[in-house]
């Protein structure tokens, strides 16, 4: 066997062994026991597309072009075009309520109000995904709702009862829209993947935060 080919196989095997758990896998693991999901701010390509098709989900989105694109992909069973500040769902009507890449687009007071609403609507758990602290972001794709208006920290989310894990590797490696800060991109993407194994357990140094609150335990 060619020595370079063998070396490449060894490097790939080592890399697979030391890289951290991907965001999608962490999300799926937290939703395995959920059969109904409310996906707030679902956007045009929600990560819950990777979940089992046996899950019933409703996507809520304020930007009409995004919700139309999501409909074309049939990611959700139903869709609602609406703002986040006045959700009209019955209490405990979904197993899980998600806000993935949503809180940072709201002012702090609006975000806190949304979290309280999510905890009323959810039966089992609330899942939040947001940058670690404030990360500036301007509008893009002609969507003014992409602007970042607030930042959320590990400590404040923990104080609200959320278990917090770090996602997407070291914060220092990424910038706006989670793009890599350094070049070559391939190298630093690998470094981010490897650092994910550390930042998952030490979210203070991670770029993004995956936050989960179990409500059943709180009801007991």
Question: Using one digit for the tens of pLDDT, what is the confidence trace for 80-93?
Answer: 999 888 888 999 99
Residue 168 pLDDT > 90:
yes
**Res 15 pLDDT > 60:** no
Q: 5 versus 201: which is more confidently predicted?
A: 201
pLDDT (tens digit per residue) in 23-79: 999 999 999 999 999 999 999 999 999 887 789 999 999 999 999 999 999 999 999
Q: For position 141, what pLDDT does the model report?
A: 82
Q: Looking up tokens 């998952």, which residue turns up?
A: 200
Q: Where are the domains of the chain?
A: 27-166+207-219
For residue 124, how far is the Cα from the chain centroid?
Answer: 18
Residue 127 confidence (pLDDT): 98
Predicted TM-score of the model (pTM): 0.91
Range list of H helices, the chain: 3-18, 23-30, 64-73, 108-121, 154-159, 185-199, 215-219
Quote the pLDDT of residue 220. Answer: 43
Neighbours of 13 (CB within 10 A): 10
Torsion of CA 81, 29, 36, 59, to 10 degrees: 10
Q: What is the pLDDT of residue 51?
A: 85
Q: Nearest CA to 42 among 124, 92, 99?
A: 99
Cβ–Cβ < 8 Å for 102, 41? yes
One CATH from 3.40.50.150, 2.70.70.10, 3.30.450.20, 2.40.128.20 for 27-166+207-219: 3.40.50.150
Window from 75-79, 103-107, 124-128, 177-181 with minimum mean pLDDT: 177-181
């Amino acid at each position: 066997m060619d020595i370079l080919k063998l070396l490449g196989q060894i490097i790939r095997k080592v890399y697979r062994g030391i890289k951290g758990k991907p965001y999608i896998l962490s999300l799926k693991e937290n939703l395995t026991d959920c059969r109904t999901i409310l996906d707030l701010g679902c956007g045009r390509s929600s990560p819950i597309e990777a979940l089992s098709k046996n899950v019933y989900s409703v996507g809520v989105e304020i930007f009409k072009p995004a919700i139309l694109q999501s409909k074309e992909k049939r990611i959700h069973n139903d869709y609602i075009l609406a703002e986040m500040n006045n959700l009209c769902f019955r209490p405990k009507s979904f197993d899980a309520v998600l806000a993935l890449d949503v809180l940072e687009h709201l002012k702090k007071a609006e975000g806190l109000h949304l979290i309280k609403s999510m905890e009323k609507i959810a039966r089992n758990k609330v899942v939040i995904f947001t940058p670690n602290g404030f990360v500036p972001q301007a509008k893009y794709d002609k969507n003014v709702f992409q602007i970042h208006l607030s930042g959320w920290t590990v400590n404040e989310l923990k104080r609200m009862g959320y278990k917090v894990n770090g996602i997407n590797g070291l914060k220092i490696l990424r910038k706006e829209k989670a793009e890599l800060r350094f070049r070559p991109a391939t190298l630093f993407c690998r470094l981010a993947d490897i650092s994910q194994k550390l930042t998952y357990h030490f979210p203070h140094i991670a770029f993004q935060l995956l936050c989960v609150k179990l409500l059943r335990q709180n009801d007991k």
